[in-house]
Amino acid sequence: MIVDADGCPLWVEVEGPTQAPVLMLSNSLGTDLRMWDAQVAAFAQRFRLVRYDRRGHGKSGVPAGPYTMEQLGRDALAIADALRIAKLDWCGLSMGGMVGMWLAAHAPQRIDRLILSNTSCHDPDPSIWNERIKAVAASGGLGSLADRIMALWFSPPFRAGSPQAVAPLRAMLAATPVAGYIACCEAIRDMDHRDLLTRIGAKTLVIAGRHDQATPLAAAQFIHSRIAGAELTVLDAAHIANVEQSAAYTQAVLAFLARNAA
């Protein structure tokens, strides 16, 4: 279905039992909702599963940027409102986790349980993002940067041993509109959620990748230390942990949700 979020069409897919608790998944920068394909079967057995393409990505619209975390959070709320979902569980990886932090702090009545995966709350060096924006703008497309980004997303053994798993993510990245990617980079560059973390009251699981260079373990540990009662799980993976360690990731999420069932 298409949801209108303040004039931006958002592509949304819904699966699973109608009366089950809602689990909403939010993707990383440079991917679309298919990045969760390895989790769909297991998650949709127990949850009403909602996936969507963030603005600037996939089948959603690409309005002019820059975007902000508040804007992206309100997009998620627009989807929940359109589906008449009063409260949901949120699982976001990388940028999806950043949006999840904003939601849990600013719309706490809408978030039940929260999974923040392979993410960070602030980047103290905005020049990194300015350099990436410049490189993407100069390239004319993300395909030329795919090797460099795949090296951040997946560990060397996984890239070498599982090319069939890496290829779809590379294709998603290459297909991402340059304007949408840059607008989301600007949102990450300008984000500072550090003061939001102590406001989060939802039961929270933080997932980190031991080999994650994009959002290192220290970033996860910082988030974990600031959210009261949060749990921390470390997987033997790099940045896109739900793909590199798909079974362990799925198990970690489902076990956390089962432990913290209402």
At 182-227, the pLDDT tens digits run 999 999 999 999 999 999 999 999 999 999 999 999 999 999 999 9
CA–CA distance, 141 with 216 (Å, rounded to integer): 27
Q: Residue 54 carries which DSSP code?
A: P
Q: Is the pLDDT of residue 262 over 80?
A: no
Residues in CB range of 68: below 8 A, 6 or more apart: 187, 190
Give the pLDDT score at 139.
87
Concatenate the DSSP letters of all residues of 184-243 into one string.
HHHHHHT-B-GGGGGG--SEEEEEEETT-SSS-HHHHHHHHHHSTT-EEEEES--S-HHH
Interatomic CA distance for residues 195 and 243, integer angstroms:
31
Please compute the mean of the pLDDT values over residues 11-37 and round it to a whole number: 98
Here the CATH number for the domain that contains residue 139 is 3.40.50.1820
C-alpha span between 185 and 180 (Å, rounded)? 9
Q: What is the pLDDT of residue 261?
A: 87
Using the CB atoms, write b or e for 170-204: b if 16+ within 10 Å: bebbeebbbebbbbbbbbbbebebeebbeebebbb
Q: Name, in order, each residue with C-beta under 8 angstroms of 222's C-beta and a sequence gap of 6 or more.
A: 120, 121
Provide the percentage of residues in the chain whose pLDDT is more than 70: 100
Question: Has residue 60 got a pLDDT over 90?
Answer: yes
Say how far apart CA 222 and CA 48 lie, in whole Å.
31
Model confidence pLDDT, tens digit, residues 159-190: 999 999 999 999 999 999 999 999 999 999 99
What does the buried/exposed string (b/e) look like for 137-156 if buried means 16 or more CB atoms within 10 Å of the residue's CB?
Answer: eeeeebeebbeebbeebbbe
Confidence of residue 242 (pLDDT cuts 50, 70, 90): very high
Q: Is the pLDDT of residue 92 over 90?
A: yes
Q: What is the mean pLDDT of the chain?
A: 97
Which residues face 92 on adjacent strands?
A: 26, 116
Confidence of residue 238 (pLDDT cuts 50, 70, 90): very high
**What's the total number of domains in the chain?**
1
**pLDDT value, residue 140:** 81
**pTM, two decimal places:** 0.97
Write out the residue range of the structural domain in which residue 39 sits. Answer: 2-259
Q: What is the pLDDT of residues 105-158, one digit of tens each?
A: 999 999 999 999 999 999 989 999 999 999 999 988 899 899 999 999 999 999
pLDDT value at 91 more than 90: yes
Q: Which pLDDT score, from 0 to 100, does residue 78 have?
A: 97
Q: Are strands 88-93 and 111-117 parallel, antiparallel or unpaired?
A: parallel
- 34 falls in which pLDDT band (50, 70, 90)? very high
Share of the chain above pLDDT 90, in %: 96
pLDDT at 87 over 90: yes
